[in-house]
Amino acid sequence: MKHAKNNQNGISRRQFTLSALAGTALFASNPSFAESKTDQIIRIGFISPRTGPLAGFGKTDPYVLSQAREALKNGLTIKNVNYSVEILDRDTQSDPSRAAQLAKDLINNEQVDLMLAVSTPETINPVSDACEAAGIPCISTVMPWEAWYFGRGAKPGEPSPFKWTFHFGFGVEEFYQAYISQWALLETNKKVGVMYPNDADGNAIRRALIPKLEAAGYSIVDPGPYETGTTDYTSQIALFKREGVEIFNSFPIPPDFAAFWRQAAQQGLTRQIKICQIAKTGLFPSDIEALGGLGNNIGSAAYWHKAFPYRSPLTGQNGVELCDGYEAATGKQWTQQLGASLSLIDAGIEALRMLSDPKDKAALAAAIGHLKTTTIGGPLDFTSGPVPNVAFGPIIGTQWIKSEEGPHQFDYVITENTTDKNVPVQRKLALYNS
């Protein structure tokens, strides 16, 4: 029997097989050819919590990643060389142990060149630690920088122990400025009830924020650290009622605050509260909608808002365009995490653009340490941070107001702009029980 022919070009199966084997042998005997192809792919790991108690922080990430991938679909040109860019995103399920495992997998098995981690110490710190141990450049955002820097072992006044990991964003000073600039304008007895959990965020805030508030003339009523997942807050509520607190401040995860605030309403505490200013929860519409009428006039804090007057250097979008696109694509209300996650990707891409060889990890880490740019979140400067490896970011005072017209149950409005005067103030903070 004659060899069957290829219908398109007349090559026999035997000839095709021999040609394929020869090509494979050539590829194997010429590793520089294989390496040149691999070296033209930049792999970026992106880790965030999309499910579990912290899911609100990662809910919008699929949309942000779709925008970034679209902007990078034709590659990234660096020094006249075009590189394909792969973003490998992973969900921590709000579990710190899983966050560490995902980071190690991306480092060891996917061989990422750059790691990006976003939202809360439960995600960022274990990812940063894995990258520091493995020598992988990592940038993170959306947690107090004190909880990232000191929470991972750095000591005040000593050189930074970190070579590979970097963080940008707000700290305790930004919260203090946002709070005081508003609280001082409203008539209260200056008694502040605080609920700070026994975690990296809560411990950092308790250590640094309470002394600042006391120095500003506020009396702090602190029942002490509570464990995440607590379901009965009767003792804390009784203390706050007995002491007559009129300002409430907390940094809990969303389920904990929802449980506390409902019990506070049932036991009469909310009636005496004039200012309820919270962080870590109350950031997203779902947090507030879950409270029903108890959510109206809750004060929050924004690390990003659609009114920020900046554009993404990667996608070209401003805040309104990013948020309108998200709402049109999903039918859901925009959240501040849209701009925060995109600003992180902006920062990573801008650092890569600084290099002659984006595959040189030591050079990339050095470039991040010298990065000065503007993302959709605003100016970013790693050369002038409060400590090495850290760049400042704003916290803007905000409040949830029941919407009288429009498609959403609550509107998220800006009430002060002390830490970024370029951001427009939309209204004055209203009393919780007004």
Q: Which domains does the chain have, with CATH numbers?
A: 37-170+310-392 (3.40.50.2300), 173-306+395-414 (3.40.50.2300)
pLDDT at 407: 87
Count of beta carbons in the 10 Å neighbourhood of residue 301: 25
Say if strands 247-250 and 275-278 run parallel, antiparallel, or are unpaired: parallel
Q: 2: helix, coil or strand?
A: coil
Whole-angstrom distance, CA of residue 63 vs CA of residue 57: 13
pLDDT in tens, 251-268: 999 999 999 999 999 999
pLDDT at 434: 77
CA atoms within a 13 Å half-sphere pointing along the CA-CB vector of 294: 19
pLDDT at 405: 81
pLDDT at 406: 76
pLDDT at 404: 85
pLDDT at 14: 45
Residue with tokens 């509520």: 237
Let me know: does 345 contact 352? Beta carbons within 8 Å. no
pLDDT in tens, 26-66: 334 444 333 444 579 999 999 999 999 999 999 999 999 99
pLDDT at 410 over 60: yes
pLDDT at 15 over 50: no
Let me know: does 154 contact 162? Beta carbons within 8 Å. yes
- Average pLDDT value for residue range 109-135: 98
- Average pLDDT value for residue range 370-393: 97
Q: Is 111 left (phi over 0), alpha (psi -120 to 50) or beta?
A: left
25-32, long-range: CB < 8 A, 24+ apart: none
**φ, ψ of residue 288 in degrees (nearest 5):** -80, -40
- Average pLDDT value for residue range 380-384: 97
pLDDT at 393 over 60: yes
Entry pTM: 0.88
- Band of residue 156 on the pLDDT scale cut at 50, 70, 90: very high
- Average pLDDT value for residue range 289-294: 94
Per the prediction, the chain carries an average pLDDT of: 92
pLDDT at 416: 97
% of the chain beyond a pLDDT of 70: 91
pLDDT at 1: 41
Print the SS3 string covering 315-355: CCCEHHHHHHHHHHHHCCCCCCHHHHHHHHHHHHHHHHHCC
- Band of residue 23 on the pLDDT scale cut at 50, 70, 90: very low
pLDDT at 31: 41
- Band of residue 21 on the pLDDT scale cut at 50, 70, 90: very low
